[in-house]
């Protein structure tokens, strides 16, 4: 098997993630190519698309949401994702075992919980109108007074196929959003059979080359090695001798292909979708990015690797993007970061009176 260097693996992943070159393609197509985008907060996918699409405007994603071409709902790893409506329908049953297993985290709080009864009650409630999870919990608590209200809400989130109900606000979803049944919102039924092999292929197209453990980290599904063995995949080894799998004819650019600086939002999936993340971030920098309270900070990359953090704020009409580098930044790279950062802060704060990009340290 051919050996792929760490740099070759990095460039292959960046190419599939549209982080080597922005492309002038529809936002819905990019969401599909990425097999969804982590959507813990509504703004994050917009930022991720800005970094990947040439000329991206948030109104394009707004329209796709309103036209129900993309949806935001609980999916991979039991977390909120922005996905195409077609992919939600196709893969919701596939990841159902992950969501069902998630109830184990309730521990003692799950005492007395009867999932089938809670699901039936929640489906009946949500069939009437979209509800926030506070409203869902309050209504279910009246029916199941002896069960922890958080357990009732969590059971609903994991087991009932729901999407977040969009509203006419910036980034399409309010902070305390309502949820609505996915099939009713999309207007089509879920695929009833698991499409696990297809999901493996789609994963490799977006994140490969990779290992079965990487796929398990991204999807939450376990025991993936037999699935990889059943598919017609190419194999490589990394520099440590570990076998990597990939779809035939996938982009694997020259390792010396230049990688421009890119800004990634919080929770970007490129940082979350491999068992070992050295292809995109050095181990020494992970504690600064992955916090103890399970947040993943917004980062920027230099030469394809995470090189620092970024934040924005607007005060008195001045929008400022602040860079926090992990180490020394070359003058040429600093200029590139400031050009790219100036575009990002204008995208995030279009109504500001003035803009600035500053660096700490």
3-state secondary structure 181-227: EHHHHHCCCCCCCCCHHHHHHHHHHHHCCECHHHHHHHHCCCCCHHH
3-state secondary structure 276-290: CCCCCCCHHHHHHHE
Residue whose pair of structure tokens reads 């694997």 in the numeric block: 252
Chain center to CA of 81 = 6
pTM reported for the whole predicted model: 0.95
Per-residue pLDDT tens, the chain, 361 aa: give them: 799 999 999 999 999 999 999 999 999 999 999 999 999 999 999 999 999 999 999 999 999 999 999 999 999 999 999 999 999 999 999 999 999 999 999 999 999 999 999 999 999 999 999 999 999 999 999 999 999 999 999 999 999 999 999 999 999 999 899 999 999 999 999 999 999 999 999 999 999 999 999 999 999 999 999 999 999 999 999 999 999 999 999 999 999 999 999 999 999 999 999 999 999 999 999 999 999 888 999 999 999 999 999 999 999 999 999 999 999 999 999 999 999 999 999 999 999 999 999 999 7
Looking at residue 292, what is its pLDDT? Answer: 86
Nearest to 155 by CA among 192, 88, 190, 109: 109
Nearest to 219 by CA among 119, 92, 107: 92
> What is the side-by-side order of every strand in the sheet holding 234-237?
2-3, 234-237, 243-246
Looking at residue 361, what is its pLDDT? Answer: 76
d(CA 249, CA 33): 15
Looking at residue 85, what is its pLDDT? Answer: 98
Looking at residue 219, what is its pLDDT? Answer: 97
Is there a contact between 50 and 348 (Cβ–Cβ < 8 Å)? no
Listing DSSP states for 218-259 in one string gives HH-----HHHHHHS--EEEE-TTS-EEEE-TT-----TT---
């Amino acid at each position: 098997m051919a050996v792929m260097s760490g740099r070759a693996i990095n460039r292959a992943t960046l190419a599939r993630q549209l982080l080597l070159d922005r492309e002038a393609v529809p936002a819905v197509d990019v969401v599909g190519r990425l097999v969804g985008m982590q959507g813990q907060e509504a703004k994050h996918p917009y930022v991720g698309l800005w970094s990947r699409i040439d000329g991206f405007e948030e109104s394009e994603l707004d329209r796709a949401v309103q036209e129900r071409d993309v949806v935001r709902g609980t999916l991979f790893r039991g977390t909120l994702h922005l996905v195409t409506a077609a992919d939600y329908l196709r893969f919701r049953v596939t990841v159902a075992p992950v969501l069902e297993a998630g109830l184990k985290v309730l521990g003692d709080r799950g005492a007395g919980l009867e999932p089938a009864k809670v699901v039936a009650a929640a489906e009946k409630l949500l069939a009437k109108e979209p509800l926030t999870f506070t409203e869902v919990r309050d209504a279910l608590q009246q029916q199941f007074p002896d069960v922890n209200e958080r357990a009732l809400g969590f059971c609903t989130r994991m087991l009932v196929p729901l999407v977040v109900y969009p509203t006419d606000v910036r980034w399409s979803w309010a902070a305390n959003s309502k949820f609505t049944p996915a099939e009713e919102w999309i207007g089509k039924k879920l695929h009833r059979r698991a499409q696990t092999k297809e999901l493996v292929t789609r994963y490799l197209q977006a994140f490969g080359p990779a290992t079965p453990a990487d796929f398990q980290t991204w999807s939450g599904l376990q025991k993936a090695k037999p699935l990889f063995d059943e598919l017609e995949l190419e194999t490589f080894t990394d520099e440590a001798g570990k076998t990597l799998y990939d779809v035939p004819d996938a982009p694997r650019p020259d390792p010396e292909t230049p990688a421009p600086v890119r800004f990634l939002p919080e929770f970007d999936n490129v940082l979350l979708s491999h068992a070992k993340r050295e292809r995109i971030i050095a181990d020494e920098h992970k504690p600064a990015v992955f916090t103890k309270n399970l947040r993943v900070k917004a980062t920027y990359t230099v030469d394809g690797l995470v090189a620092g953090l970024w934040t924005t704020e607007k005060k008195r009409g001045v929008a400022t993007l602040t860079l926090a580098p992990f180490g020394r930044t070359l003058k040429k790279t600093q200029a590139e970061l400031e050009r790219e950062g100036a575009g990002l802060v204008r995208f995030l704060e279009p109504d500001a009176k003035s803009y600035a990009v500053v660096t700490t340290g």
